[in-house]
Structure 1
Amino acid sequence: MIIYIRNMVCIRCIMTVRDELEKINLTNVNVSLGRAEFKENLSYSEISAINSILIKSGLEIIEDKKNKIIRDIKAVIVELIHYSNENLKVKLSAYISEKLNCSYPFVSKLFSEAEGITIEKYYLQQRIEHVKELLVYKKLTLTEISYRLNYSSLSHLSSQFKNTTGLNASHFKDISKKRNPFG
């Protein structure tokens, strides 16, 4: 994977980038003027961490359109699940297409190639993360959560939770209580 870096103008910049990457244990990288080539693909969080470090040195990653679209897809999904008053029964493909003003087949293929999972799978993972938050922090019952998040039934939520986490919801809640006895 290659990332392009703005404001790299000299050998000192190359050394700075190399040193900063080593500090976060990214050593298998070829750094040259304006770019850093990694042997493996980086996750979005790794790219964000690299950019934060580079900004402190007056450098920054030049984001390509594909990465921006992927970041936007994730943001739209997180916003829909965690912060939106929209009905969660909306058709995900139509919702994403409308928000990003892109065709769904295009963004779906792009997302799957970059992330290794489908948009639908990512959506499901985020939805279950929200269920976990509601179980632990809001102390809601599964029935309340099922209603709040517009699941078709309690059994549908329970099934998705078990398939995604490997635990049933009550066992997850018990484990969470043991980890945080004050919560």
Structure 2
Amino acid sequence: MKLLLKFDFTKVCNTVLKQKLEAHQFNYQQTAFGEIELMDKVSEEQLKLFHEDINSFGIEVVEDPKKIVIQKIKDVIVDMVFNEKDINVKTSVYLSEQLEENYNYLSNLFSEMTYTSIENFIILQKIEYTKILLTNEDLSLTEIAFKLNYSSVAHLSKQFKNTTGITPSAFQRIIAKRKQIN
């Protein structure tokens, strides 16, 4: 039997972190998505065990200052796309406000460290979310385009094809065939 699952990535990450922090008996406060402040002093050994524990879930503690900023940029973008934040300002302004940094600095650092642009990362996240919506939801491409703030279905379709190599319709047909087989 095959089950199709839908994920709320933010909720999953927060739940795993909460369980692991409590299992290690850390007194903590979550200050932002992906950012935890430990309220008490902990030993190097406790931190090492915690790092090993969360690594099994693909979560790692970031220590390089540049990598921290990159991770924060990614976290804000993923939260913005997957949680369908209704943002009434440009993404550049939103990122600058959320991270309290100049957008040019954020953009240049992101490109330098990831070899891609913030805009491209946003597109990739939107396409990933589109694939999830096409697979797990009963939404039309028009509804998905509207939900993800695309100017048109044609714009979403073009970005989808440029990113995946196939059209959204072809993707839907492939998913429908897989569901029939299983």
Shorter-chain-normalised TM-score: which range?
Answer: 0.5 to 0.7
- Number of equivalent positions: 129
Deviations 1:88-108 (A, max 9, x none): x63111111110001111111
| Cα distance between partner residues in 2 of 1:140 and 1:62 | 37
Secondary structure of 1:181's counterpart equals: helix
1:151 Cα offset (Å): 1.1
Listed as ranges, the gaps of 5+ residues in structure 1 are 1-50
Change (3 A) 1:66 1:170: same
Secondary structure of 2:180's counterpart equals: coil
| Cα distance between partner residues in 1 of 2:86 and 2:158 | 24
Letter in 1 for 2:95: I
**TM-score under structure 2 length normalisation:** 0.64
Match of 1:52 in 2: 52
1:62 Cα offset (Å): 6.4
1:177 Cα offset (Å): 2.1
Aligned identity (percent) is 43
* Greater Rg by CA: 1
Letter in 2 for 1:141: S
| Cα distance between partner residues in 1 of 2:92 and 2:86 | 15
Match of 2:171 in 1: 172
1:82 Cα offset (Å): 0.6
Deviations 1:24-77 (A, max 9, x none): xxxxxxxxxxxxxxxxxxxxxxxxxxx537979xxx966021111000000000
- Do 2:82 and 2:129's aligned partners in 1 also have CA atoms closer than 8 Å? yes
Deviations 1:97-134 (A, max 9, x none): 11000111111111111111001000000011111111
Match of 1:108 in 2: 107
Change (3 A) 1:55 1:174: closer
**TM-score under structure 1 length normalisation:** 0.63
The within-5 A match list for 1:80-159 is: 80-87=80-87, 90-159=89-158
Match of 2:73 in 1: 73
